[in-house]
Amino acid sequence: QAEVDAKVAEYEKYTSLEMIEITFTAVTGIDLSVYDWDEIVELKGETNAMKSATESLLNKGGKKNTKREILETYNKYGLFGKPFIGMPDKVVDELEKWVDEYDIDGFNLGFNAVWPDNLEDIVDLIIPELQKRGLFWKDYPVKGGTFRENTFGKGQTFLHEDHPAYALRWQEGVSKEEFEKNLKAHEKERLARRS
């Protein structure tokens, strides 16, 4: 645990409120740069797709919060709760608990302050522990295959015929000009349906 604590302390040296603000904006789509550090944040209109998580962060403790308070809370807890920090077995215990108790079927494992160290920790420490427990595969069904083949099966390198974008693929024997003309016609038709 001492190694983990030292790593966290090291990473915190590279963290600034400005960096946190950039990350917050990238994740939520909310631009806090229009507020002073100690100004209460009052959003007008819709927030974003992560509405409940964002609103709970903006109004933490049942009160309106300042830009500084929001970013400090975001740095500590993220948008969805405190991040898992610890030795690989403890982190994977938490991941496994969430899968079992909340029936989720995936995680976005994130990294912040120090690149590529955080990513290397995930690859070198967390993934092997997940594999040891049978929670992360070691090989893909189609060796050397594309993402689509490994998702839908060998030879499935294109969209299925019933997919809306199937007609938009560039087929053999079609010139670039003809393809672009067809694409523009499809886009015009799509926009007409929306209005």
Question: How far apart are the C-alpha atoms of 125 and 87, rounded to whole Å?
Answer: 9
Kindly tell me if the per-residue pLDDT of 41 is higher than 60.
yes
| Predicted pLDDT at 87 | 93
Q: Where do the structural domains in the chain lie, given as residue ranges?
A: 15-77, 88-132, 147-194
Q: What is the pLDDT of residue 108?
A: 76
What pLDDT, on a 0 to 100 scale, did the predictor assign at position 126? 93
User: What band does 53 get if pLDDT is binned at 50, 70 and 90?
Assistant: low
Spatial distance between the Cα atoms of 67 and 42, rounded to a whole number of angstroms? 10
**pLDDT at residue 16 above 60?**
yes
| Confidence grade of residue 178 (pLDDT, cut at 50, 70, 90) | very high
pLDDT of residue 15: 83
Tell me the per-residue pLDDT of 17-34, one tens digit each, with 9 for 90 and over. Answer: 998 899 888 888 888 999
Q: Which pLDDT band, with edges at 50, 70 and 90, does 88 fall under?
A: very high
- Length of the chain as a residue count: 195
pLDDT(47) > 70: no
pLDDT at 91: 93
- Indicate whether 127 pLDDT > 90: yes
Mean pLDDT of the chain: 85
CB 18 within 8 A of CB 37: no
Residue with tokens 């974003």: 48
Would the pTM count as exceeding 0.85?
A: no
pLDDT value, residue 18:
92
- Which of helix, strand or coil describes residue 40? strand
**Which pLDDT score is estimated for 175?**
95
Residue range 91-119, pLDDT digits in tens: 999 999 988 998 887 887 766 666 777 78
**Using CA atoms, how far apart are residues 52 and 171, in angstroms rounded to an integer?**
44
Asked if 89 and 129 touch (Cβ cutoff 8 Å), the reply is yes
